Structure 1
Amino acid sequence: MDHSKHKGIVVFSGGSAANSLVDVFGAVRENRRCPLSYVIPISDNGGSSSELIRVFGGPGRLVRLIPDANDDADDSEKAAIKVFFNHRLPKDRHEAKKEWLQIVEANHPLWTNISSAKKELIRSFLNMINFEIMKRLRPSSTFNFSSASIGNLFLTGARLFSGSFESAIYLLSSICRVPDHTSVIPAINTNFTHHISASLADGTTITGQNSISHPSPPQPTRTSSLLEVPSTTTSSSYPSTVPTPDPYKEIHRHTAAPAPTTTHDDTDTIEDANPPGTHPTLRQQNISFSKTLSPSDDLPARISRIWYINPYGAEIRLSANPRVLSALNAADAVIYSIGSLYTSLIPSLILKGVGEALANPRIRWKILILNALNDRETGPSWDAYTAVDFVAAIAKAAAESRGVLKGEVPRSEYKTYVTHMIHLTGPGTPRVDKEVLSELGIECVRVYGRKLEGEEFVRYDEKALVQALEVLMGRGKDGRTVQRSRRNTSEG
């Protein structure tokens, strides 16, 4: 079917959390018969991705859009390929490498039910990344396969072969037969990962997505930078934080002054994809981290701003991938998905061009799906984010993208970037002040969630979320108008 005449949906993906909603967005797309685009950030430097970035210098991320198997003749191959690319190697470093060798040598059960032609095509790129890993092997730098994603390793091999991350995504989509009406677009058109920093309300600066988002054990490094960033840490829990009273002032001072003499530290003896003098935090592996928070893991203050940095820590302003802007210009619905607000959503929204596109009134629905819980980025419990705070953060990022931000965004402009909100009610969910949001011109829809056994919090029910999205956009299967049901209730 030709979808070119139908207005599309653009989803700003919230990282791994948004993977659970892929079927939801797919169902809404199918009912509306329109194109669907996922915009993914490339600033992730945690988990197994951090090792690919450290050694190869580029993004490697698998978006789980591989369609489920149907009743086709090759049903078993579809299922096998989905399992294959979503497979992660063991956490134990030695067991991980052992299993990796079984995969590249085609001796692993994961290859069962994958045809010979596809198997050899996939193996060629896995063997390429394996060759590149061996070629870069040094006493000071060895690749750690712990918890590595096969999909990410494939994407990196394809990127190194083609010289293009988008080409690598296209190849993976072709092998997995992701429908052409669904596209995955990197937020920035680049072969390299761009890192982010965050400033907190108390003047602290945190460098790197993983350090912002997840508590991790202190990793001692002697900070040494071309920018002479002070090495004093504010807390043993934040090995990558340094006090900067005014991040704007610090950035201008560093970029205007001649680069001082570099003092090499231990990180400069490591042979990896990072140039000498790179901020030490960006050279850490960050493979292991905890997503379970305790009060000691709280950030000392709220995040006030996110920006991109070069390898040495200086701020840079980047333009959005032209394909992202094209998708936004052809869309009438934008969805801000669940996930980490400041490290999954905001990095895509602050890019030049995105804010202007979002402000276009031709986009009728700008829907925020509110997180089920506040995390490290939107806590702590004594100052947890409300629904209005989430909207304010999105509006601020979009305004900064447009270059019009001077202080805080007026509340009257929030509806320029967020018109609707879907939320849950239950233990730990962010507080939703429906009267305030209504005064701001933002309609709210509450959906009923579900609890998994052993969990204290509620999750979104997929059927309820599909219905809520269709209610807001007023269109279901065959273009019929969708009525509100008992599964969701309007609060707007």
Structure 2
Amino acid sequence: MAEGRLPHIVLFSGGTACRTTNLALLSKPVRLTRIVPAWDSGGSSKIIRDTLGVLAVGDIRQALMTMAHGEGRAGDVVKVCNARMTSGTEDDARTEFALYAEGCHPLLERMEPGLRGAILNYLRTFRAAIGADFDFRNGSIGNFILTGAHLAHNSDINTAIFVFRKLCDITGHVWPSTAADGVDLSAVLNDGTRVEGQHRVTALDDAASDIGIRDIALSGRNGAAVPANEAVLESLESADAIVFGPGSFFTSVLPHFLVEGIVPAIARNGHARRIFIGNMLQCRETRGLDVARMLEIATTLWRRQEGADARPFTHVLANHQPLPFEKTVGPFAYLGNGPLEEVGARLGMERVIGEFEDPWQRGQHDGRAVADMLNSLLPS
């Protein structure tokens, strides 16, 4: 690491699961880059994708708002970008959007003219593109602004993110792992059933969840391969630690391995620690799995790109498990570690077992404890 340069941590994950870790890392003397999925197909992102055929921006906007929160940005621009439309009637939601798009919302009326003008330009670009029948209910204003910026800047998502960060005065970086639009995730269950769409995979019903996921795939438009975002490749080149998770294993963490160029770029950086963070709880995607099995699945996918002897991770962080029986929080059991010692040794990974559960939020990570450990593992 060059003298005087802050260490650079690149964090692969999705949305809420790594939020506390993201926030805690922002209190450390590090540079932080979040790499998020570009295949979100649910919620507000789904409606925008279906209407415009553009790259999903929901995970990008959410990660940017986490950065803003962690950096103490609480101005009017951030408040606007973090706002949601009413979930009431379509007419009420359309009226509420008009308050923003016409600059009549109190947050916009008191804003500095240059910021206000930029936001109004992006909202009006978005409104012109989506047509009269768009359903604004429960939509994110930040998603609308970021999509408008995407459209206004010749569908260049990296430029749109740069502008969005400047509007919100955000220092940390957030990039989608691919800049291609129309990317879709699918999964094949252990019985051969195919499940199409990220939002369906992450919300498997009980029967499908019990069957379990055998494989996943990413596809671009017309089945094309999914190329890596150049901004991501540059981030990986300068990383001192590359962290995977916590997050939805099959929909937010593992699919990044399928983006062309990501795995080779990580492998080329022989300096960086590559750290897998085990989830705290099982979920609909991982019911019946344990951390050791997840490492084996990730290694199999990694070796499709890098060869039979390649290892994806140098370290694995897993929570200490003192109980000899299965314990649950709500509908899901704690994620067991399984034969982690044997699998870690076979795959060339150092095990780091600790007390990583939030003492106030059962089943969630203590972001500070995770961030402290990540900081201690940085190369000297």
TM over 0.5: yes
- TM-score w.r.t. length of structure 1: 0.67
State the identity as a percent: 23
From 99, 103, 107, the equivalent of 1:102 is: 99
Cα shift readout 1:306-344 (whole Å, capped 9, x = no counterpart): 1123556xx432221222222212222100121111111
Cα shift readout 1:143-181 (whole Å, capped 9, x = no counterpart): 1112211111101111111111111111101111122xx
Q: Does the 8 A contact of 1:92 with 1:146 survive in 2? A: yes
Aligned match of 1:289: none
Q: What is the one-letter code of the residue matched to 2:175?
A: I
Aligned match of 1:175: 167
Could you tell me which runs of 5 or more consecutive residues in structure 2 were left unpaired when the two chains were aligned: 322-327
2:110 & 2:298 partners in 1: Cα distance? 45
2:113 equivalent to 1:123: no
1:458 & 1:206 partners in 2: Cα distance? 27
From 471, 483, 489, the equivalent of 2:376 is: 471
2:242 equivalent to 1:334: yes
Residue 361 of structure 1 and its aligned partner are, at CA, apart by 6.1
Q: What is the one-letter code of the residue matched to 1:447?
A: E
SS in 2 for 1:460: coil
Q: Does the 8 A contact of 2:263 with 2:305 survive in 1? A: yes
2:68 equivalent to 1:66: yes
1:21 & 1:302 partners in 2: Cα distance? 28
1:439 & 1:99 partners in 2: Cα distance? 57
- Worse-matched range after superposition: 384-393 or 458-467: 458-467
Cα distance change, pair 113–463 in 1 and its aligned pair in 2 (3 A): farther
2:175 equivalent to 1:185: yes
Q: Does the 8 A contact of 1:202 with 1:301 survive in 2? A: yes
From 81, 86, 97, the equivalent of 1:85 is: 81
Q: Does the 8 A contact of 2:21 with 2:370 survive in 1? A: no
2:35 equivalent to 1:39: yes
After TM superposition, where is structure 1 displaced by more than 4 Å over at least 4 residues in a row? Answer: 2-7, 67-70
2:110 equivalent to 1:204: no
Q: What is the one-letter code of the residue matched to 1:148?
A: G
Cα distance change, pair 474–389 in 1 and its aligned pair in 2 (3 A): same
Q: Does the 8 A contact of 2:11 with 2:242 survive in 1? A: yes
Residue 365 of structure 1 and its aligned partner are, at CA, apart by 1.2
SS in 2 for 1:14: coil
1:401 & 1:110 partners in 2: Cα distance? 49
Aligned match of 1:324: 232
Q: Does the 8 A contact of 2:21 with 2:366 survive in 1? A: no
Name which one, 1 or 2, has greater alpha-carbon Rg.
1
- TM-score w.r.t. length of structure 2: 0.85
From 293, 318, 330, the equivalent of 1:423 is: 318
Could you tell me which runs of 5 or more consecutive residues in structure 1 were left unpaired when the two chains were aligned: 216-236, 238-294, 476-492
Cα distance change, pair 469–324 in 1 and its aligned pair in 2 (3 A): same
Residue 110 of structure 1 and its aligned partner are, at CA, apart by 3.6
Cα distance change, pair 300–467 in 1 and its aligned pair in 2 (3 A): closer
Cα shift readout 1:199-233 (whole Å, capped 9, x = no counterpart): 12211111111111125xxxxxxxxxxxxxxxxxx
Q: What is the one-letter code of the residue matched to 2:318?
A: H
Residue 360 of structure 1 and its aligned partner are, at CA, apart by 3.7
Q: Does the 8 A contact of 2:273 with 2:379 survive in 1? A: no
Residue 113 of structure 1 and its aligned partner are, at CA, apart by 5.1
Q: What is the one-letter code of the residue matched to 1:419?
A: T
Task: Report the structure, 1 or 2, having the larger helix content.
Answer: 2
From 119, 141, 145, the equivalent of 2:136 is: 145
Cα distance change, pair 4–194 in 1 and its aligned pair in 2 (3 A): farther
Cα shift readout 1:339-382 (whole Å, capped 9, x = no counterpart): 11111112221122222223346144111122121111111xxx
2:295 equivalent to 1:299: no
Q: Does the 8 A contact of 1:8 with 1:333 survive in 2? A: yes
Size of the aligned set, in residue pairs, is 358
1:310-389 superposed matches below 5 A: 310=220, 315-360=223-268, 362-379=270-287, 384-389=288-293
SS in 2 for 1:459: coil
1:393 & 1:109 partners in 2: Cα distance? 51
Cα distance change, pair 22–96 in 1 and its aligned pair in 2 (3 A): farther
Q: What is the one-letter code of the residue matched to 1:387?
A: V
Cα distance change, pair 311–323 in 1 and its aligned pair in 2 (3 A): closer
From 150, 160, 166, the equivalent of 2:158 is: 166
Q: Does the 8 A contact of 2:44 with 2:140 survive in 1? A: yes
Aligned-residue RMSD, C-alpha:
2.7
2:351 & 2:135 partners in 1: Cα distance? 47
1:109 & 1:165 partners in 2: Cα distance? 29
